[in-house]
């Protein structure tokens, strides 16, 4: 047997440290050991004289808590890394070319049973109508599906359509002539028909996704996951200590139809890098697909006000939330439309305060609902604002823009904002999210609803401390006893013009271990 080596205390010096801790927001040195912070601004003699001390000179770099993405879909995002990328298509021709290229890849691999799966299209990118089944002709005779970027609508080709049930479904819409499936129709008719990747492929994709997120300065995530992926992918990858995981994942189970009197059997395995913290329901759809449930009809489609779904549709949302809390878990509810928001807050009023419910998205709220969010978590995605801003005026009309991503008003009334991305719906890059929250610029670079913009400090806090509090994570703040999860940027985020530039991530550390270093950056100096 080999003797266990004593843990080494490492101290970062000559750093511009933002701690995220209101009691001590700034520092110049920080010590950590065994994956946890042991001192902030330790005395100079303590840095050098300990037998096992290591001192690292950051050369004046800016260091803060590693970013936390409070809401993404880790295994889904990992899967899209191997799919046909349709994000940013500016025309039908470009859409069809990308599909044709992916079909050639699949043909060359000789996998005749595989569906062609595309992801990320948005009709706002070509300023036209949504694609129909004829846009997928270049997939040939292979079944093909192309998901809208919000994952709430998809289009399929004739080969796929022939395999699918097109009868009416509650909470969903089907336009069989066009090959379009929305909401529950997409989730319950299309998804089960697509052959699942092998477990080996899923785990390989997870490793790629972890590296990708670390490169963006992310050390922890709140991930929305199906139970099968939790059991088969996340638990085996993140619980065994021998695999040395580096991304902290606190998972929320994507609930659909379990009976309230018979909760599902959940995995009990956990570690410092994985735990199940909640369950999620959908109250409605999305603004882009016109399925977000609104108090008034859509301005550009007055025959609809969107769709209620799942427990909200059945009038049992509060009962479901209480059932989740009885399991010791946090109820998390997707609500984007202002009608869905009202229904959710009514349900929150009927529930206990702990485990704390989470309001996911909170994209449009009637002014009367905003004060009701005092002390409650609003899990929001600022890059969604930059994306949906391109369609918001058409969908909502001028009179309802005040309800759209009301960051400033929510904070003024005491709501607790935690930021994430909803990846793969949009980029998980926290720096792009901060830019959207601070500047109010949409993806085309135009200012929109800037009265709702917040400060850099507030946005950073939403990506660190508040996200950690909401998800019960050990990071988010640099203080004694907290996780040694850090990000190093090339510039201070407080000293740049976010309308013109963003900082770059140079290093990411997880539990005190370096997990990312940018190629253009020299290693930090050890003395």
Which residue is it, tokens 């021998």?
Answer: 242
| CA distances to 100, 238, 308 from 176, in Å | 23, 41, 21
Tell me what pLDDT residue 2 has: 38
Task: Spell out the per-residue pLDDT of the chain, length 527, in tens.
Answer: 333 445 789 999 999 999 999 999 999 999 999 999 999 999 876 655 555 789 999 999 999 999 999 999 999 999 999 899 998 899 999 999 999 999 999 999 887 789 999 999 999 889 899 999 999 999 999 999 999 988 889 999 999 999 999 999 988 999 999 999 998 899 899 999 999 888 899 999 999 999 999 999 999 999 999 999 999 999 999 998 666 899 999 999 997 777 777 888 899 999 999 999 999 999 999 998 899 999 999 999 999 999 999 999 999 999 999 999 999 999 999 999 999 999 999 999 999 999 999 999 999 999 999 999 999 999 999 999 999 999 999 999 999 999 999 999 999 999 999 999 999 999 999 999 999 999 999 999 999 999 999 999 999 999 999 999 999 999 999 999 999 999 999 999 999 999 999 999 999 999 999 999 998 877 676 65
- Measured CA to CA, the distance from residue 348 to residue 343 in angstroms comes to 9
State the Cα angle at 18 between 13 and 20, rounded to 5°. Answer: 135
Number of neighbouring beta carbons within 10 Å of residue 110? 7
Question: Are 23 and 47 in contact, with CB atoms under 8 Å apart?
Answer: no
Predicted TM-score (pTM) of this structure:
0.90
Q: Which residues of 446-483 are buried (b: 16+ CB within 10 A; e: fewer)?
A: eebbeebbbebebbbbbbbbbbbbbbebbbbbbbeebb
Tell me what pLDDT residue 292 has: 96
Residues across the chain = 527
313: which DSSP letter?
Answer: H
> What structural domains and CATH numbers belong to the chain?
9-65+481-526 (2.30.40.10), 83-193 (3.10.310.70), 199-471 (3.20.20.140)
- Measured CA to CA, the distance from residue 299 to residue 128 in angstroms comes to 17
Question: Are 277 and 375 in contact, with CB atoms under 8 Å apart?
Answer: no
List the one residue out of 439, 146, 154 whose CA is nearest residue 286. 154
Question: Are 241 and 278 in contact, with CB atoms under 8 Å apart?
Answer: no
Q: In this structure, what are the phi and psi dihedrals at residue 31, rounded to the nearest 5 degrees?
A: -115, 145
């Amino acid at each position: 047997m080999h003797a266990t080596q004593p843990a080494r205390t490492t101290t970062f010096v000559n750093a511009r440290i933002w701690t995220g801790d209101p009691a001590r927001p700034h520092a110049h040195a920080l010590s950590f050991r065994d994956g946890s912070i042991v001192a902030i601004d330790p005395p100079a003699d303590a840095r050098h004289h300990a037998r096992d001390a290591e001192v690292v000179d950051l050369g004046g770099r800016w260091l803060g808590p590693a970013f936390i993405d409070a809401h993404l879909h880790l295994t889904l995002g990992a899967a899209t890394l191997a799919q046909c990328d349709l994000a940013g298509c500016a025309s039908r021709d470009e859409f069809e070319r990308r599909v044709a290229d992916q079909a050639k890849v699949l043909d060359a691999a000789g996998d005749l049973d595989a569906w062609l799966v595309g992801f990320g299209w948005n009709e706002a990118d070509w300023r036209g109508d949504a694609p129909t089944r004829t846009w997928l002709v270049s997939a040939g005779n292979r079944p093909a599906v192309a998901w809208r970027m919000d994952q709430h609508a998809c289009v399929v080709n004739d080969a796929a359509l022939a395999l699918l049930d097109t009868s009416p479904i509650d909470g969903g819409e089907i336009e069989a002539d066009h090959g379009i499936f929305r909401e529950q129709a997409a989730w319950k008719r299309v998804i089960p028909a697509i052959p699942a990747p092998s477990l080996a492929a899923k785990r390989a994709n997870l490793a790629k996704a972890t590296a990708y997120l670390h490169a963006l300065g992310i050390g922890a995530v709140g991930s929305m996951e199906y139970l099968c992926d939790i059991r088969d992918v996340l638990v085996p990858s993140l619980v065994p200590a021998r695999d040395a995981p580096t991304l902290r994942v606190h998972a929320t189970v994507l609930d659909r139809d379990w009976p309230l009197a018979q909760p599902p059997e959940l995995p009990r395995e956990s570690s410092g890098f994985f735990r199940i913290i909640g369950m999620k329901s959908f109250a409605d759809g999305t603004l882009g697909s016109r399925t977000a449930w609104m108090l008034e009809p859509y301005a550009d489609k007055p025959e609809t006000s969107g769709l209620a779904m799942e427990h909200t549709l059945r009038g049992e949302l509060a009962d479901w939330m209480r059932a989740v809390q009885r399991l010791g878990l946090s109820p998390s509810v997707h609500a984007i439309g202002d009608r869905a928001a009202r229904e959710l807050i009514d349900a929150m009023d009927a529930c206990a305060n702990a485990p704390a419910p989470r309001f996911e998205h909170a994209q449009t709220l009637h002014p009367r609902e905003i004060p009701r969010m005092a002390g409650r978590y609003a899990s929001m995605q600022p890059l969604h604002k930059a994306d949906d801003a391109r369609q918001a005026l058409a969908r909502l009309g001028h009179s309802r823009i005040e309800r759209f991503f009301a960051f400033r008003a929510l904070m003024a009334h005491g709501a607790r904002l935690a930021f994430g991305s909803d990846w793969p719906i949009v980029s998980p890059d926290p720096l792009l999210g901060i830019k959207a929250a601070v500047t109010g610029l949409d993806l085309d670079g135009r200012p929109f609803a800037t009265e709702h913009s917040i400060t850099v400090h507030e946005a950073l806090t939403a990506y660190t401390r508040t996200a950690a509090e909401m998800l019960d994570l050990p990071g988010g703040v640099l203080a004694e006893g907290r996780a040694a999860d850090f990000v190093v940027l090339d510039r201070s985020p407080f000293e740049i013009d976010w309308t013109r530039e963003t900082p770059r991530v140079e290093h990411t550390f997880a539990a005190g271990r370096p997990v990312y270093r940018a190629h253009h950056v020299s290693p930090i100096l050890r003395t």
